[in-house]
Amino acid sequence: MLKRKKIFFLFLIILINLSMVYPKPKTLERKKIQKKYKWDLSDIYKNWNEWEKDKNRFNKKLNEINNFKGTLSEKANNLYKVLKYREDLNKLSYKLYWYVKLHLDSNQRNQKYNQKYGDILQLFNKYNQYFTWFEPELLEIRKKKIEKWIENNKKLKPYDFYLEKLFRHQKHVLSEEKEMLLSYFSPVLQGIDSLYSKLSNYDMEYPEIELSNGKKIILNSGNYSEILKNDNLKQTDRRKAYIKYNNLYKDNKYTYAELLNTVIKKNWAQAKARNYESSLKSNLFWNKIPVDVYKNLISVVKNNSEVFKRYYKLKKKIIKNRKNLEEYWAYDTSLRFTDLNKKYPYKKAKKWIIKSSKMMGSDYNEKIKKALNNRWIDVFRNEGKAKGAYNIGVYGVHPYLLLNYNDEMNDMFTVAHELGHAIHSLYSIENQPFSKSNASIFVAEVASTFNEKLLLNYLLKKIEDPRERIAILRQAIGQITGTFLFQTYLADFELQIHERIENNKTITLKYLKNLDKKLDQKYFGNFPREYKDYSRFTWSYIGHLYDRPFYVYQYATCFASSAKLYKDITTGSKKLRNEAKRKYLNLLKSGGNDYPMSQLKKAGVDLTKKEPFIAIINQFKVLVDRLEKEVNKLDKID
């Protein structure tokens, strides 16, 4: 999920899933997918001609920038004019960028889209260079003078928080000449960040494998996931898929290791260039996140890792006994806990998500319906489509959501997750000026995980089938292990590799594998049994380690925050519940109008304390107890 929401790349925050005895590929031909399941990009531009006109208008308008240079200190209205001018460019940039990017993500193999994407990035690099003078010149004006201008000029009020943050950041803003020099390196640094995507997506050639039943399958990420979950396949099939798929990364292990080494060096160089003591501090500073929040998270989870290991031991017992396995390997961990093999069609997921959101009031519920029913969502996987899922709010239009829906329970929760982001975007844009409408990731992931909790608890109350209840409890536990535990493990890993570079040591393949093994045993224990050393390459398939420094910890902090907020809204007296709901909706409406720690504190969460993290540990214990009870009960029934 960023040290600075700087110019155009602030919107690059975006932010990572059978009816037969072999996995049924769900990758479709895009032209055969019904229109209602594909996003309607004509809400941004009717056609490419309109986009070209706006691109030319942007380029022409950009050339007016020098009219403002040297005038900022003269009077308040001059400052307002340049801030408004820049804001108009930024609003236009959202539409220009996302019209291309959403087309590209629907088919990344389309050369026209790739060309236009490259064109727009070049234009934005030009923007960066043209604006290098702005912040240095602005910071030459005394802060008290700026504050007086804001007090006496209402037109400057929407920019007060940006200006406050900028002056706080003053010692990290360089001279105009140095800012210009750094801007020349921007395309190179962006190129380093994009290399991982090229290596792991564009250059990835998925192998074909033959299963024990004679069926041949292209082992893309979707099919690989299906094979590991398919109860009807043999353990040898899972092993074969596991080896083949992981070899895609293992075969390039030296390249991934050297790329990560280069990325961490780049992060440290950028931090030093802007006078930061460490890469971590450079990424926490802009949003005023105390370093102790990051380190407390790691400390709490590490010191309570036995709680999580108990679950992995239970998971091993359930799967091993159910499938009569002699050995429980890494490729067996996705097998079902029961014989339930239920699918969750998109239509059903929509219905349940809408019902689960009713407790948040009619306005929240109507926003959910609007997002689901107006072609804001690209639902199904097709050839060439971007992996994963995301939401992006296109200012002046509406949010767009990318999914790769495949009728699994996890897909249903992914819809709920991304809709949480969409609702946040809608509330923010309705209640904040453009300059304050973009929430930090530190807050944004609260909205997404909160919306998942609405669905989860709705289903736990609704579902009576004990097998399905076990599946839902596993989903709930998986949210904690995936969003809280695993992301904390990654945060620990990321901190250690950055500190190694900052201590003038090199990151080698051997070091990465050893660190991976050490932390894996600390956080997860020895469950399951490792197959050779394939588990030692976790770092190679986590894209955020390569392109978004110190991003992943925010998933864990946000998960803890949303759990606290959900508890406040659903427990206690009616008066207290309503007050908690009001505070939460105010959090969504606040966008980016304050520092995230302050926003969360107003809503009722104080992350400077360890209690929110400890509460997740305690919640995890309850869920595991409940799962064990349900499994034992089902065993007696069977």
Q: What average pLDDT does this structure show over 378-383?
A: 93
22 has a pLDDT exceeding 60 = no
Q: Phi/psi at 173 (nearest 5 deg)? A: -95, 130
Question: To the nearest whole number, what is the mean pLDDT of the chain?
Answer: 90
The dihedral sign for the CA sequence 406, 411, 412, 415: negative
What tokens does 35 get? 């229109």
Point out the least confidently predicted range of 330-334, 450-454, 540-544.
540-544
pLDDT at 341: 86
Neighbour-count burial for 107-124, b at 16+ CB within 10 Å, e otherwise: bbeeeebeebbeebbebb
pLDDT at 9 over 70: no
Closest CA to 96 of 131, 64, 58, 130: 58
Q: Do the bridges between strand 208-210 and strand 216-218 make them parallel or antiparallel, or are there none, so unpaired?
A: antiparallel
Three-state SS at 107? coil
CA 624-630-634 angle, 5° bins: 145
End-to-end CA distance of the chain: 45
**Cis bond before residue 528 (omega within 30° of 0):** yes
pLDDT band at 636 (very low <50, low <70, confident <90, very high): low
Pairing of strands 377-380, 399-405: parallel
Please tell me the distance from the alpha carbon of residue 287 to that of residue 116, in angstroms, as a whole number.
33
Residue 149 DSSP class: H
Q: Is the pLDDT of residue 10 over 70?
A: no
Helix (H) or strand (E) holding 593: none
Residue 43 in this model has a pLDDT that exceeds 50? yes
pLDDT of residue 1: 33
Indicate the pTM of the whole model: 0.86
HSE-CB at 599 with a 13 A cutoff on CA atoms is 29
**454-474 average pLDDT score:** 94
Q: Which long-range contacts (CB under 8 A, 24 or more apart) does 581-585 make?
A: 581/360, 581/361, 584/450, 585/360, 585/361, 585/364, 585/427
Among residues 592, 571, 582, the alpha carbon closest in space to that of 431 is found at 592
pLDDT score, position 18:
28
CATH architecture of 39-198: Up-down Bundle (1.20)
Which DSSP string do the residues of 92-113 spell out, in sequence order?
A: HHHHHHHHHHHHHHH-TT-HHH
Contacts 24+ apart (CB under 8 A), 473-479: 473/623, 473/626, 473/627, 473/630, 474/337, 474/627, 475/409, 475/410, 475/413, 476/623, 477/311, 477/620, 477/623, 477/624, 477/627, 478/410, 479/413, 479/449, 479/452, 479/559
Highest mean pLDDT among 224-233, 487-496, 534-543: 487-496
Query: Is residue 29 within a helix (H) or strand (E), and if so which, with residue range?
Result: none
Note the Cα 382 to chain centre separation in Å: 21
pLDDT per position as a tens digit, 338-377: 999 899 999 999 999 999 999 999 999 999 999 999 999 9
Distance CA 76, CA 155 (A): 9
pLDDT in the model for residue 205: 86
Are 334 and 229 within 8 A, CB to CB? yes
Residue 393, beta-bridge partner list: 399
Distance from C-alpha of 431 to C-alpha of 406, rounded to nearest angstrom: 35
At residue 536, the pLDDT reads 85
Residue 6 reports pLDDT greater than 70: no
Residue-level pLDDT at 17: 32
pLDDT higher than 80, residue 526: no
> Contact, 400 vs 392, CB < 8 A?
yes
Residue with tokens 């997750």: 417
For 75, the token pair is 């009077």
The catalytic position among 29, 366, 408, 418 is: 418
CA–CA distance, 488 with 617 (Å, rounded to integer): 13
Whether 147 is catalytic is no
Across 554-581, average pLDDT: 95
Q: Are 439 and 428 in contact (CB under 8 A)?
A: yes
Q: What does the buried/exposed string (b/e) look like for 30-62 if buried means 16 or more CB atoms within 10 Å of the residue's CB?
A: beeeeeeebbebebbbeeeeebeebbeebeeeb
Residue type, 436: K
* 416 — pLDDT class (breaks 50, 70, 90): very high
Dihedral pair phi/psi, residue 204, rounded to 5°: -80, 115
Say how far apart CA 259 and CA 540 lie, in whole Å: 10
- Measured distance CA(165)–CA(152) in Å, rounded: 20
**Which sequence spans correspond to the domains of the chain?**
39-198
∠ CA 292-298-302, nearest 5°, is 140
Q: How confident is the model at residue 4 (pLDDT cuts 50, 70, 90)?
A: very low
User: Where is average pLDDT lowest: 16-30, 158-172, 614-628?
Assistant: 16-30
